[in-house]
């Protein structure tokens, strides 16, 4: 189908607060495809967008299923030129077992980067919402980085460094997935660039969303609150702050920025390595 004279399309994968805030910021006069594992979540965000004057539709996607991701990319391309791609779907260490975290956050994001890299329009841009957790893991070797960045997606989960026993906990799985997100973005920037498009990542710290509020008041809440208290910012972030950064990265002013990951955590990681949150810090 020809996309000439059709409205530009924004694809939002993951109907969470951060992704929704980004979609509202980067969509002007276009059509938003809101995709989530649960149609009820996508429909709720669609209604919010409609109430705010946007044109939107709701559908489902399963990041753990490559065929589902391909179908979403094809559908979006049929609607018009795919100009904005927001990949914000995933699961947290407290939500799922190791296998699911790797399957969704690592494999699923990798598939989506590849499939939307085939349909994104010239001048288009994408952003992956990763996490500060990717910066907490010890450095990998150059060879391991290359494997996470470039291994074909259908072979990715068979890598020895992702095998059972190599991943020691759900948090470790999450950190590995988020480390890989940045590496896959860097590699996919090359293929997206061939279509005249760009893709970057953002690694937020603790951002206040419904899930984050639950986490802050849950079993691990004390540790998260300590992170915030001892960070330079001294507070959590907001979805609108991440959306402002995404708006810059996806807009024309960042036309020379491609294949990078921006850490936006209020300085938590800085404090983790060099401040009061470090092992030698004044805890």
Is the domain defined by 9-209+238-270 classed in CATH 3.40.50.720?
Answer: yes
Query: Mean per-residue pLDDT for 3-26?
Result: 91
Given this model, what pLDDT does residue 280 score?
A: 54
Using the predicted structure, report yes or no on whether residue 220 has a pLDDT greater than 80.
no
Using the predicted structure, report yes or no on whether residue 161 has a pLDDT greater than 70.
yes
Given this model, what pLDDT does residue 85 score?
A: 98
The C-alpha atoms of residue 66 and residue 108 are separated, in whole angstroms, by: 7
User: What is the side-by-side order of every strand in the sheet holding 198-204?
Assistant: 55-60, 31-36, 9-13, 82-87, 120-129, 198-204, 261-264
Write down the domain spans for the chain: 9-209+238-270
Structure tokens at 247: 């708006």
Residue of 178, 226, 256, 273 marked active site: 178
Residue of 84, 174, 194, 273 marked active site: 174
Q: Annotated catalytic, 84?
A: no
Query: Mean per-residue pLDDT for 95-111?
Result: 96
Q: Is 225 exposed, middle or buried (0-12, 13-18, 19+ CB in 10 A)?
A: middle
The C-alpha atoms of residue 115 and residue 266 are separated, in whole angstroms, by: 32
Structure tokens at 11: 């694809």
Q: Could you tell me which residue, 93 or 1, shows the higher pLDDT?
A: 93
Given this model, what pLDDT does residue 4 score?
A: 55
Does the model's pTM come out above 0.85? yes
pLDDT in tens, 59-87: 999 999 999 999 999 999 999 999 999 99
Helix axes 170-194, 142-150, angle to 10 degrees: 70
Q: Annotated catalytic, 174?
A: yes
Helix axes 39-51, 17-26, angle to 10 degrees: 40
The C-alpha atoms of residue 140 and residue 128 are separated, in whole angstroms, by: 21
Name the band, by pLDDT with cuts 50, 70 and 90, for residue 218. confident
pLDDT in tens, 256-266: 999 999 999 99
Contact 264, 240 (CB under 8 A): no
Query: Mean per-residue pLDDT for 130-159?
Result: 96
The 10 Å Cβ neighbour count of residue 82 is 26
Phi, psi dihedrals of residue 164, rounded to the nearest 5°: -60, 130
Query: Mean per-residue pLDDT for 38-65?
Result: 97
H or E stretch at 123: strand 120-129
């Amino acid at each position: 189908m020809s996309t000439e004279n059709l409205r530009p399309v924004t694809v939002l994968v993951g109907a969470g607060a951060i992704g929704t805030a980004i979609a509202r910021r980067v969509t002007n006069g276009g059509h938003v495809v809101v995709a989530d594992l649960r149609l009820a979540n996508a429909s709720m965000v669609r209604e919010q967008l409609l109430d705010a004057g946007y044109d939107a539709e709701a559908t489902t996607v399963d990041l753990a299923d490559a065929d589902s991701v391909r179908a979403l990319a094809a559908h979006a391309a049929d609607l018009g030129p795919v100009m904005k791609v927001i990949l914000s779907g995933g699961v947290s260490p407290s939500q799922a077992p190791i296998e699911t975290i790797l399957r969704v956050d690592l494999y699923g994001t990798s598939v989506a980067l590849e499939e939307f890299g085939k349909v994104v329009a010239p001048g288009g841009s994408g952003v992956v919402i990763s996490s500060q957790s990717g910066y907490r893991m010890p450095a990998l070797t150059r060879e391991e980085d290359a494997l996470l960045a470039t291994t074909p997606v259908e072979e990715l989960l068979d890598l020895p460094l992702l095998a059972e026993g190599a991943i020691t906990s759900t948090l470790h799985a999450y950190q590995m997935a988020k480390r890989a997100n940045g590496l896959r973005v860097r590699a996919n920037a090359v293929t997206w660039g061939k279509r005249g498009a760009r893709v970057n990542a953002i690694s937020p710290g603790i951002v206040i969303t419904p899930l984050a509020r639950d986490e802050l008041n849950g079993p691990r809440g004390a540790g998260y609150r300590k992170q915030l208290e001892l960070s330079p910012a001294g507070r959590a972030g907001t979805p609108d702050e991440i959306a402002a950064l995404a708006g810059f990265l996806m807009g024309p002013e960042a036309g020379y920025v491609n294949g990078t990951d921006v850490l936006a955590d209020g300085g938590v990681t800085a404090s983790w390595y060099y401040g009061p949150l470090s092992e030698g810090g004044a805890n």
